[in-house]
Structure 1
């Protein structure tokens, strides 16, 4: 996801190889179209929560500029996508025009910069799926979990992007989600706003502390998302 491959060769299928790929290549002949106001509708193979959708988007935007294409164009596309989802069509169009981005189909799923480099955005960066599920459906289920008495106690070091470091005593059989809930109780940061990273990889909610293999004294980075995320429409 977020990878970038050359597509200068002629494709016989006439379609995008994968909606999850960011592609750079040659711009086809055709007129530029204004951005369409309607959001693309799609259904996720696996229903997503708001937090999971945000993580997928963040992972894409974090990795896409590392491949082909120009970073300033990626930044403009991200800003335009966010403006569209917030319903500010005029701002999105102004961003696209200001960056000299061409959209032959009137959407950000397939567009080009002035040098002819092609950029393909996955649909999940442009709108939420129609089968979005409530964030509480995952966390509320955990409210009925029995108290975890397995494993052994250990101390982990956490560094929050709010410029706060702290130590927390957990059990090795605790999941990341369970520890996120503890942080919510003590720091007021909802689990959906926390993204855990260790050694350059994202730790998902079901990962047990013992499976994360965090050496003693090492730090887990926690990226805290803004208080008011982009609203999701059904």
Structure 2
């Protein structure tokens, strides 16, 4: 798959490496405040049991979203998460379960307003 890079480790075995990048700029359908954005994010993360998948993978994804980029790489690799999209919007666990993250949990909208 084009979303995962492979390289050889010191033992000559193939090792997959996920490359994470920042999501593309996005705008909410209407300007929103920081409080509204935070409420949307809380609603998403509190509702993850209904989306299926493994709780540990969801927790790793949330930690990666909140982490600096270099730490996010480590979190994703250690959790065995396979990225389909470099911006974390779509990923899979080692059993093939799909995990979709909306842009609003990944980055700030371009039309965020103070208030």
How would you bin the TM-score normalised by the shorter chain?
Answer: 0.7 to 0.9
Which of 75, 89, 92 is equivalent to 1:95?
Answer: 75
1:57 aligns with 2:35: no
**Equivalent residue, structure 2, for 1:110:** 90
Task: Write out per-residue CA displacement over residues 47-99 of structure 1, whole angstroms, 9 at most, x where no aligned residue.
Answer: 1111110000000000012331110111111111111xxxx111111110010
**Equivalent residue, structure 2, for 1:24:** none
Q: Distance in 2 between matches of 1:82 and 1:55?
A: 16
Task: Write out per-residue CA displacement over residues 85-144 of structure 1, whole angstroms, 9 at most, x where no aligned residue.
Answer: xxx111111110010001133121010000000011000000011000002xxxxxxxxx
Which of 46, 61, 66 is equivalent to 1:82?
Answer: 66
Higher share of residues assigned helix: 2
Q: Distance in 2 between matches of 1:66 and 1:110?
A: 17
Alignment of 1:116-127 (within 5 A): 116-127=96-107
Q: Is the Cα contact below 8 Å between 2:65 and 2:72 reproduced in 1?
A: yes
**Equivalent residue, structure 2, for 1:66:** 50
TM-score of the superposed pair, with normalisation by structure 1: 0.42
Following TM superposition, the consecutive aligned residue runs of length 4 or more in structure 1 with deviations greater than 2 angstroms are none
RMSD value over aligned CA atoms? 1.2
Higher share of residues assigned strand: 2
Structure 1 gaps, min length 5? 1-29, 136-234
TM-score of the superposed pair, with normalisation by structure 2: 0.82
Provide the secondary structure at the position in 2 that maps to 1:106.
coil
Which of 20, 23, 26 is equivalent to 1:42?
Answer: 26
**Equivalent residue, structure 1, for 2:109:** 129
Structure whose CA Rg is larger: 1
- Higher RCO (C-alpha under 8 Å, 6+ residues apart): 2
Provide the secondary structure at the position in 1 that maps to 2:66.
helix
